[in-house]
């Protein structure tokens, strides 16, 4: 069964600091990769996605992620965080094999201090 | 363009009761997936409906069942509620154009179920 690991449960940063959230998955076949964000009191929103092609993908609000196939990783980055980035971030993997389900990591709570 | 909608927003039930949650997919979408998100955890896949049939199922007991209607809306039913069923239940919709093709899901706001 596929699984997704997010290494950091809670990250606290000051505004303007750089962000990198780790995500590793276990599945050897073709995958679609996602980062979702859940702002306080709001529903899950898609931040960015990787289907194929350029492994460096850009999403909304200045976020980007890099797919490294050899490391089964899809880390999320942002050069300079803002207070409004405070939220929970979820990495998710969809495999086109028999599972065909979206598997989420346990999430990383990001707190940005003003 | 309406996004994914879910009802009700909140629900309080007693152990042993049954509950039905509802979901309307994003306009143009034909596939609905249901997830359970316990506090402090990521969403866990319950099942997916396509063409009114359950296509995939996660590791959830038979107490969890669902239905998809011809208009693509869906219901999630949970029987014999347990305290551990307290969670946020999320519905997500997608468009299944090609099996094995790219798959992007749009999530609704969820239904917060509390079992006492």
Residues A52-56, mean pLDDT to the nearest whole number = 92
Strands (E), A1-114: 3-5, 10-14, 19-21, 24-26, 31-38, 45-50, 56-58, 64-68, 73-78, 87-95, 102-104, 108-113
Convert the pLDDT of each residue in B3-45 to its tens digit. 999 999 999 999 999 999 999 999 989 999 999 999 889 999 9
Touching A: B residues 84-103, CB under 8 Å = 90, 92, 99-103
The two tokens of residue A28 are: 């050897």
Confidence (pLDDT) at B71: 95
Touching B: A residues 71-90, CB under 8 Å = 90
For residue A56, which of A43, A73, A37 has the smallest C-alpha distance? Answer: A73
Confidence (pLDDT) at B90: 97
CB B4, CB B108: distance < 8 Å: yes
Burial A88-104 (b: 16+ CB within 10 A, else e): bbbbbbbbbeebbbbbb
Q: Residue A113 and residue A110: Cα distance in Å, rounded?
A: 10
Convert the pLDDT of each residue in A2-36 to its tens digit. 789 998 899 999 999 999 999 999 877 788 899 99
A3 touches chain B (CB under 8 A): no
Convert the pLDDT of each residue in A61-106 to its tens digit. 999 999 999 999 999 999 999 999 999 999 999 876 656 788 999 9
**Cβ-defined contact of A101 to B92 (cutoff 8 Å):** no
Q: Could you say which of B43, B44, B56 has the minimum Cβ distance to residue A100?
A: B56
B55 touches chain A (CB under 8 A): yes
């Amino acid at each position: 069964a596929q699984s997704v690991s997010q290494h950091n449960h809670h990250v606290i940063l000051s505004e303007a600091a750089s962000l990198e959230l780790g995500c590793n998955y276990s599945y050897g076949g073709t995958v679609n990769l996602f980062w979702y964000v859940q702002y306080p009191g709001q529903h899950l929103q898609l931040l960015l996605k990787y289907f194929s092609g350029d492994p460096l993908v850009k999403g909304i609000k200045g976020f980007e992620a890099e797919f490294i196939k050899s490391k089964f990783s899809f880390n999320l980055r942002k050069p300079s965080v803002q207070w409004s980035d405070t939220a929970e971030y979820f990495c998710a993997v969809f495999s086109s094999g028999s599972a065909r389900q979206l598997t989420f990591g346990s999430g990383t709570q990001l707190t940005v201090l003003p | 363009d309406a996004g994914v909608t879910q009802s009700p927003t909140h629900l309080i039930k007693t152990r042993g009761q049954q509950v039905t949650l509802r979901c309307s997919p994003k306009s143009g979408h034909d596939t609905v997936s249901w997830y359970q998100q316990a506090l402090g955890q990521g969403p866990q896949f319950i099942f997916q409906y396509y063409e009114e049939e359950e296509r995939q199922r996660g590791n959830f007991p038979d107490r969890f069942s669902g239905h998809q209607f011809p208009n693509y809306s869906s219901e999630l039913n949970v029987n014999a509620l347990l305290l551990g069923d307290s969670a946020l239940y999320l519905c997500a919709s997608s468009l299944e154009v090609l099996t094995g093709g790219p798959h992007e899901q749009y999530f609704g706001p969820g239904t917060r179920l509390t079992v006492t």
